[in-house]
Amino acid sequence: MTEITQAGKALYQAVADSLMQQIQNGELQPNERIPSESELGTIFGVGRNTVRHAISDLVNQGVLRTVQGVGTFVADARYVKTAEYLYGMSQEMEMHGVEISSRVLQAELIEADAFLARRLQLQLGAEVVFLYRLRMMDGVPTGLERAYLPHELCLNILDEHDFSKESLYGVLSTNYGARPDHAEQEIEAKLATDEVARMLELEQPAVVLVFHRSTHLADGRVIEYVDSELRADRYRFNANLRLHSPLNDFVFERRPVKATEQD
């Protein structure tokens, strides 16, 4: 029997963490059916409600999927990207136990055109760092990333760092005191061009997820604008939403209508 202890965390979370570790270690493979709730309860020595909570948590994260009347399965091998926190791709992959590697396709200083000047809050013609990379997960081409940064905030960054090996956000935070703090991001799906399909090893017609993100420092200055094209068959985007109405912020009080005398 596998021992599960709370160790400062909810018991269901310990079960979820153990299942996640088995998936990351390859003990449970994509599309493999996991044991039933009662079987997992016996394996971990916990009640069915605890197991049900753990499974529900992993389903919400996109790690597991349920098929009504059949069972629960390990989700296919997609990277689940959440909308809750801001991380660089290298940081996110490490957190999910995925080996990330990069190939620098282009790295140079360019001049800000009207679009980049607006996005980066720069003067037209200002120096911009352009970094174009092919991103790979576990050796599989997964995304193309074009990052643009104000050169004035990261002087000589291309001369002093190798971004086939280093994390951009890590370098910005550690070497330039320019720690990314918050971002606005737009997501769309579109058909891949032949060039993108070739680089990402996709068969046409293929769909890619396109991310447009403006990243800011804590003081509001823009440190990066990035366009990413990601393989739709390798990514799943997850967001936690709740119903909210502005009406909930107000308390309504019924008051009697007073009659008025007319002259």
Pairing of strands 79-82, 235-238: parallel
Q: State the amino acid at position 15 in one-letter form.
A: V
Please state, in angstroms and rounded to a whole number, the distance separating the CA atoms of residues 25 and 98. Answer: 11
**80-119 CB burial, b ≥16 within 10 A, e <16:** ebeeeebbbbbebbeeeebebbbeeeebeeeebeeebbeb
| Average pLDDT of the residues of the chain | 83
CA distance 244 to 235: 28
- Non-local CB neighbours of 20 within 8 Å, separated by 6+ positions: 58, 63
7: left (phi > 0), else alpha (psi -120 to 50), else beta?
A: left
pTM of the predicted model as reported, rounded to 2 decimal places: 0.62
- pLDDT score at 36: 93
Residue 179 has pLDDT above 50, yes or no: yes
Nearest Cα neighbor of 209 from 183, 168, 237 is: 237
Per residue in 228-247, pLDDT (tens digit) is 999 887 777 766 677 765 55
Q: How far apart are CA 54 and CA 84, in angstroms?
A: 20
pLDDT for 261: 43
At residue 53's C-alpha, the angle toward residues 48 and 40, to 5°, is 40
- Residue 95 banded pLDDT, cuts 50, 70, 90: low
Positive or negative: CA dihedral 34, 37, 39, 42: positive
Confidence of residue 9 (pLDDT cuts 50, 70, 90): low
Most confident of 75-79, 105-109, 138-142: 105-109
Higher per-residue pLDDT: 252 or 32: 32
pLDDT range class, residue 255, cuts 50, 70, 90: low
Distance of CA 42 to the CA centre of its chain: 34
Residue 212 host element (H or E)? strand 207-216
Residue 32 scores a pLDDT above 60: yes
- CA neighbor of 129 nearest in space, from 105, 104, 112: 112
Please report which confidence band the pLDDT of residue 189 belongs to, taking 50, 70 and 90 as the band edges: very high
Copy the structure tokens of residue 222: 């823009």
Nearest CA to 128 out of 143, 141, 147 is that of 147
Structural domains of the chain sorted by starting position, each given as residue range(s) with its CATH number in brackets: 11-74 (1.10.10.10), 79-238 (3.40.1410.10)
Q: What is the pLDDT of residues 50-70, one digit of tens each?
A: 999 999 888 876 688 787 788
Looking at residue 73, what is its pLDDT?
87
- Residue 90: the pLDDT is 57
